[in-house]
Structure 1
Amino acid sequence: MHIKYIHHVAILTDNYLLSKQFYTDILGFEIIAETYRAERDSYKLDLAINGLYQVELFSFPDYRERGSYPEAKGLRHLAFAVENVESAAAYLKSRSVAVQDVRIDELTGKKFVFFLDPNGQPLELYEI
């Protein structure tokens, strides 16, 4: 087996329209495809980041909250690379997204900042 790259990341939402607006209008992801699956009463939204990566946004009527925060087993956070963390954080704040203070990675010396999507999913911006 030779894994080539991460194909997609899947995120479950309890408010599909709010999450769709957040990932497209605020984060600027491109819609690849949007599918409503009547048998599941569920939407699946495929999103691209610069045409390279795919985020799948799902809605299910029977979702469950995370067991604990932030140290629950599973995906701890999803990080996105940006050229300037401070300007990206300022942009998010201008769109009424609560952003933590910018920090410095003690191992790399790079800047990073955390924020949450509308579902409480921890997201990170990491300066490249």
Structure 2
Amino acid sequence: MSIKMMHHVCIQTEKYEESLQFYTGILGFELVTETANFHERDFNTWLRLGTFMIELQTGKNGDKLKNWSSLNEGIVHICFLVDNVKEEFDRIKKLGYINFKIKNGEEIYKVEDGYLFKIKAPEGTEIEIRDTQI
């Protein structure tokens, strides 16, 4: 196989400033480069966390993006591994971010191999946070 690693995912948003703040300020991504007026888009921005990157971009000028839905085909969520789910949950809450997915009345919930929580990014991307490997 010639594939070496996953390089990036591209996330489109109509809430560019809020999404940029979420990925950098809440999740800790580093801003690598921000390009204005990129191929009919207001912004095309590269963010990095370790070796993983997000290409964050606005829709093309004049296009109306559709809302994210877990009923779409393709990628449903992105998952990040942390040392401790409860500590990460508390850290994010202390930063003032409160858009968590609730399952059975709980924000942190048990799965077969441990605990996780899901947080919604401003543009709707669902982010899973867990502390156990598969």
* TM-score in terms of structure 2 length: 0.83
- The question of 1:5 aligning with 2:12 is answered no
Deviations 1:10-39 (A, max 9, x none): 111111111111111111110111111255
Q: Tell me the equivalent position of 1:17.
A: 17
Secondary structure of 2:22's match?
A: helix
Q: 1:40 to 1:70 in 2, by over 3 A?
A: same
Offset at residue 40 of structure 1 (A): 0.6
Which one-letter code corresponds to 1:102 in the other structure? Answer: I
Structure 1 outlier segments of 4+, above 4 Å: none
Q: Tell me the equivalent position of 1:34.
A: 34
- The question of 1:113 aligning with 2:129 is answered no
Q: 1:4 to 1:84 in 2, by over 3 A?
A: same
Deviations 1:44-87 (A, max 9, x none): 1101103x111110112414214x73121121001111111111
Aligned residues: 124
Equivalent-residue separation in structure 1 for 2:12 and 2:39 (angstroms) = 17
Equivalent-residue separation in structure 1 for 2:66 and 2:84 (angstroms) = 32
Q: Which runs of 5+ in 1 are unaligned?
A: none
Q: Which runs of 5+ in 2 are unaligned?
A: none
Offset at residue 126 of structure 1 (A): 1.4
Identity rate of aligned residues, in percent?
29
Equivalent-residue separation in structure 1 for 2:4 and 2:38 (angstroms) = 34
Secondary structure of 1:118's match?
A: coil
Q: Contact conserved, 1:46 with 1:55, CA < 8 A, in 2?
A: yes
The 5-angstrom pairing of residues 51-62 of structure 1 reads 52-60=51-59, 61=61, 62=63
Secondary structure of 1:124's match?
A: strand
Superposed CA RMSD in Å reads 1.7
Q: Contact conserved, 1:92 with 1:98, CA < 8 A, in 2?
A: no
Q: 1:116 to 1:39 in 2, by over 3 A?
A: same
Q: 1:38 to 1:45 in 2, by over 3 A?
A: closer
